[in-house]
Amino acid sequence: MPGGVNSPVRSFRAVEGTPVFIKKAKGAWAWDEDGNKYIDYVASWGPLILGHAHPEVVRAIKKAAEKGTSYGAPCEKEVDLANLILKSFLSIDMIRMTSSGTEATMSAVRLARAYTKRDFIVKFEGCYHGHADYLLVKAGSGATTFGTPSSPGVPREFTERTLLAKYNNIQSVENLFAKHRNEIACVLIEPVAANMGVVPPKKGFLQDLRKITEDAGMLLIFDEVITGFRLGLGGAQKTYGVTPDITCLGKIIGGGLPVGAYGGKKEIMSLVAPIGPVYQAGTLSGNPLAMSAGVATLTKLREKGIYKRLNELTQFLVEGLREILEKLHIEAQLNSVGSMFTLFFTDCEVVDYESALTSNTKMYSGFFKNLLSAGIMFPPSQFEAVFASLAHTEKEIDMTLKAAYNALKKIK
Ligand SMILES: *Cc1c(COP(=O)(O)O)cnc(C)c1O
């Protein structure tokens, strides 16, 4: 396996390490093959908001598996999950499940192009939307980590219609509109960027984006693969009060199994096959195991006070880290939204890709390694989000803060 892994960031190359092989994980904890244990803040890169092997999720998967792992025919759990999503996302009238977030964004863009009969798309530097050819242009996540934002193997023609704007900079979008006004199908964005590290939208930015896309007859696509059910039941669109035309989901809605979904207004979604001409399919889409894990997860998330508790706990950690940074006189930026955050080692406020890239990745790497040897697993890259889960308690947060103090002191 290239790098010993099946997804690049896991390789620890960005922090000059070798990957930790996980043997098992439960709640907030993970154990490796060498007998070390860690408080885990990677959370499978976002999906595990309930923590590892949550009993209700495991029970749901077991129960489903006993009834068959895949049918290639519709089943009730697909309807259950769709209903749970539609209850929370009022912008979605119709939804299609896929097996990954990559497929969701790819299909959403195809649909937007078909609906508007236009070919250009706008994405933002540092946002990651999976690994479709034309979306691997200045993409975040692993692509940023390895300095190959535009991957070889992608013909230039494939990315010619991908226009790049700057996150939190509405003028940069307007400039593209001025040049390509009647050619742009959609603007695709992570409403809270989380793949160049966490970068929240500035006040009014998403609202402005909504207004100018609507005025220009373009679709606004929110890639909520991370933020959907992470910021709250209704995702970033509910938090910021902005309604997109199409929403992409993934990660949390699969409860730790492979999943993705895209949905939106009925008028738009009606173009999708078989009721419309826009082709998109998947052998394992709507898989009963994934649907069951998703239903169990979203059902749990509907319990009262869940997000409040999760966000308060995360803020406790974030504020603790802020105090440590002050005490040690370390210049750094702590960007946090809900239960995710990033500690950027830079004195520059991080509001977009350019400012994120001013971070001292050597310092991050040192911080990461010190934490890891103290039994705390942060993401092995500066440009990723730290995720807290409902399985983390005050005890784990205290242990993390103690380890963080020592880790930061050592790299100072
Ligand atoms: C993870 C992610 C994707 C891709 O999802 P996969 O399931 O890894 O294909 C797309 N968009 C965003 C915002 C993501 O964080």
- What confidence tens digit (pLDDT) does each residue in 150-190 have? 788 888 888 889 999 999 999 999 999 999 989 999 999 99
Residue closest via CA to ligand 1's atom 15 equals 226
Full residue range of the structural domain in which residue 97 is found = 56-301
Contact by Cβ (8 Å): 255, 294 = yes
Residue closest via CA to ligand 1's atom 8 equals 101
72 and 46 in a single domain? The answer is: no
Query: CA-based Rg of the chain, rounded to a whole angstrom?
Result: 21
Q: Which sign does the torsion angle of CA 202, 111, 233, 29 carry?
A: negative
Q: 26, exposed or middle or buried, with CB in 10 Å at 0-12, 13-18, 19+? A: middle
Instruction: Work out how many domains the chain is built from and give that number.
Output: 2
Residue closest via CA to ligand 1's atom 6 equals 101
Output the pLDDT for position 158. 86
- Of 225, 231, 237, 384, the residue with max ligand 1 atoms within 8 A of its CB, to mutate for a pocket test, comes to 225
Question: Looking at 253, 279, 301, which one is the last position of a domain?
Answer: 301
Distance, CA of 371 to CA of 400 (rounded, Å): 8
Output the pLDDT for position 147. 46
122 and 187 in a single domain? The answer is: yes
Question: Looking at 279, 301, 323, which one is the last position of a domain?
Answer: 301
387 and 370 in a single domain? The answer is: yes
Atom of ligand 1 nearest to the CA of 102: 9
Q: Would you place residue 146 in the very low, low, confident or very high pLDDT band (cuts 50, 70, 90)?
A: low
For range 210-221, the mean pLDDT: 98
> For 18-47, what is each residue's pLDDT tens digit?
999 999 999 999 999 999 999 999 999 999
| CATH number, domain with residue 75 | 3.40.640.10
279 and 381 in a single domain? The answer is: no
Atom of ligand 1 nearest to the CA of 141: 15
Q: Which residues line ligand 1 (CB under 6 A)?
A: 100-102, 105, 128-130, 190, 195, 223, 225-226, 250, 260
Inform me whether the pLDDT recorded for 149 exceeds 60.
no
236 and 142 in a single domain? The answer is: yes
Q: Which sign does the torsion angle of CA 384, 389, 395, 397 carry?
A: positive
Q: Would you place residue 142 in the very low, low, confident or very high pLDDT band (cuts 50, 70, 90)?
A: low
Output the pLDDT for position 144. 57
Output the pLDDT for position 156. 82
**Beta pairing class for 120-124 and 162-165:** parallel
Question: Looking at 301, 323, 338, which one is the last position of a domain?
Answer: 301
* Average pLDDT value for the chain: 96
For range 121-137, the mean pLDDT: 93
| CATH number, domain with residue 30 | 3.90.1150.10
193 and 334 in a single domain? The answer is: no
214 and 77 in a single domain? The answer is: yes
Task: Give 207 or 158, the one with higher predicted confidence.
Answer: 207
Inform me whether the pLDDT recorded for 260 exceeds 70.
yes
Inform me whether the pLDDT recorded for 148 exceeds 60.
no
194 and 247 in a single domain? The answer is: yes
327 and 231 in a single domain? The answer is: no
Tell me the CA distances in angstroms from 191 to 19, 306, 329, 343, one per residue in order: 31, 22, 32, 19
For range 309-330, the mean pLDDT: 98
Atom of ligand 1 nearest to the CA of 190: 13
203 and 178 in a single domain? The answer is: yes
Long-range contacts of 174-177, Cβ-Cβ distance < 8 Å, separation of 24 or more: 174/212, 176/122, 177/212, 177/216
CA–centroid distance, 302 to ligand 1, in Å, is 23
